[in-house]
Amino acid sequence: MSKDILEKNPWGALRQFTNARIALGRAGNSLPTAPLLAFNLSHAQARDAVHHPLDVDLLHEQLRANGFTTLDVHSAAPDREHYLRRPDLGRRLSDASREALTQAVCTEDPEVVFVIADGLSAFAASRQSIPLLQAVCPRLTDWKIGPVVVARQGRVALGDEIGEILRAKLVVMLIGERPGLSSPDSLGIYLTYAPKVGCSDAQRNCISNVRPEGLNHAAAAHKLHYLLTHARRLGLTGVGLKDDSEALLEAAPQTPAVAAAAQPPVEDRRR
């Protein structure tokens, strides 16, 4: 295509500040070829993120290499097709996992249990969860931390049942978020105090878009530590727990895009 018929967008200079698709220009009534091909590639990467299986063996190996004790569970969704079509199955443990988890109950009740779930992006779980744990756990020196639970075909509420069985005071769900066209590996963090089956979204706090290009691991750890500390002090999470950690950001590494939300998320099918 001749460069003469390409019309540049005057906002082109702003593209250096964002991964969003802005100022793409046009060729006639269409996008230029390069942005169109890039869009198709991003769409394919998002679809791959949804269907790509989580390498649980590698994740367990990496967690143990970092000093964590691990447990493995599976939701009641037997495969990806059921997981996508039946969100309710992803919110409960399979019978076998429930029995195995019951037998693995710690003699000393943990204050916090971390759950890593594939969610809608196994890429996010495999790429972001361990760096996040490496950033936040050194801050939790006075906490009783339970085993890290790796969950397949899991949704956010699966953490409630896991936390209840393990008798955890708090459960932190690290889960792959719905992929975007510029973020196929974005991790969500959901924090719930006194987890049990039937908890509503109003009882959770959420930190979203955790990835190097969004809310980086150090900044996410800063927010998570703040919320954990005040959740333990107040005995609650959700609408009663506000994220005021921004006031302390000068003491934490800065991030180019702070995209966390302490308000409870809106219920939708991705969970």
Selection from 264, 152, 253, 263 nearest residue 212 by Cα: 253
| Residue 28: CB atoms within 10 Å | 10
Residue 72 CB burial class (10 angstroms; 0-12, 13-18, ≥19): middle
What are the extents of the domains in the chain?
50-251
Backbone phi, then psi, for 200, in 5-degree steps? -95, 165
pLDDT of residue 31: 84
pLDDT of residue 269: 40
Q: What is the pLDDT along the chain (271 residues), one digit of tens a residue?
A: 445 667 777 777 777 777 777 888 888 888 888 888 888 888 888 888 888 999 999 999 999 999 999 999 999 999 999 999 999 999 999 999 999 999 988 778 999 999 999 999 999 999 999 999 999 999 999 999 999 999 999 999 999 999 999 999 999 999 999 988 778 899 999 999 999 999 999 999 999 999 998 999 999 999 999 999 999 999 999 999 998 887 766 544 444 444 443 444 444 444 5
Whether the CB-CB separation of 152 and 118 falls below 8 Å is answered with yes
d(CA 171, CA 183): 25
Which tokens belong to 75?
Answer: 């939701």
pLDDT of residue 182: 77
Quickly name the fold that domain 50-251 has.
Rossmann fold (3.40.50)
d(CA 189, CA 205): 8
